[in-house]
Structure 1
Amino acid sequence: MFVVTVTYTAPLDEVDRWRPAHGEWLNDLIARRLLLMAGRQPQSVGGVYIAPGMRAAEIDLLLATDPYVVNGVAEHHVVEFTPLLMAAGLEELQSQG
């Protein structure tokens, strides 16, 4: 499983230009369960995604298609982890680590 942080590297007016395409990209990935959740960080500095288990090379290829990255307004930082402890009802995530 992966936690991905997104950091904007351009002024917000440039980021906002690509926000609709980025939103469509996120919605598609969530619908296909390639991302489990996504959200904004406070202070409009970027965002955070949670992605299920896949090979590290696959997550890198996937993130390279983010319209924010393609258009040079954000960068990603990826942390891989193995879920061991979780709240009741989220046990299926353990097998996705």
Structure 2
Amino acid sequence: MFIISLTYKTSLEDVERFIPEHNIFLDQQYNAGHFIAYGRKEPRTGGIILSNAGSKDKVEEIIRRDPFYIHQVADYEIIEFIPSKYNEHFKFFITNS
């Protein structure tokens, strides 16, 4: 499992220009089963993606397709973790990653 933390490195005005493309990217990865959840940080300084893409290399490959990455409006931090305790409803994401 991975937490992908995005931090904007440009103005919100610049970020806003790429939101529609970024949302399409997020939906594609969600539908492909690589992303479990995503949303923006509060205050609005970036976003968080929860991923079960299988490997850090796979996460890095996926990120390179993100319009935010392509247009250099966000920095990415990838944090790998191994869930040791989780809600039973979440088990599907752990055993199918």
- Normalising by structure 1, we get a TM-score of 0.93
Question: One-letter code of the match for 1:56?
Answer: K
Q: Which residue of 2 aligns with 1:93?
A: 93
Q: CA offsets per residue over residues 26-51 of structure 1, 9 Å max, x none?
A: 01111111111100000210000000
Q: Which residue of 1 aligns with 2:42?
A: 42
How far apart are residue 94 of structure 1 and its match? 2.4
Please tell me whether residue 3 in structure 1 is matched to residue 3 in structure 2. Answer: yes
Q: SS of the residue aligned with 1:43?
A: coil
Q: SS of the residue aligned with 2:69?
A: helix
The 3 A distance-change label for structure 1 pair 96 and 83 is farther
Task: Please show how residues 1-97 of structure 1 align to structure 2 within 5 Å.
Answer: 1-96=1-96
Which runs of 5 or more structure 2 residues have no equivalent in the other structure?
none
Residues 35 and 53 in structure 2, CA contact (< 8 A), matched pair in contact too:
no
Q: Distance in 2 between matches of 1:94 and 1:29?
A: 17
Q: Distance in 2 between matches of 1:78 and 1:13?
A: 25
Q: SS of the residue aligned with 2:35?
A: coil
Question: One-letter code of the match for 2:42?
Answer: P
Q: SS of the residue aligned with 1:50?
A: strand
- Calculate percent identity across the aligned residue pairs: 22
Question: One-letter code of the match for 2:28?
Answer: D
Q: How many residues align?
A: 97
Q: Distance in 1 between matches of 2:53 and 2:29?
A: 14
Question: One-letter code of the match for 2:49?
Answer: Y
Which runs of 5 or more structure 1 residues have no equivalent in the other structure?
none
Q: CA offsets per residue over residues 8-37 of structure 1, 9 Å max, x none?
A: 000000000000000000011111111111
Q: CA RMSD in A?
A: 1.2
Runs ≥4 residues deviating over 3 A: none
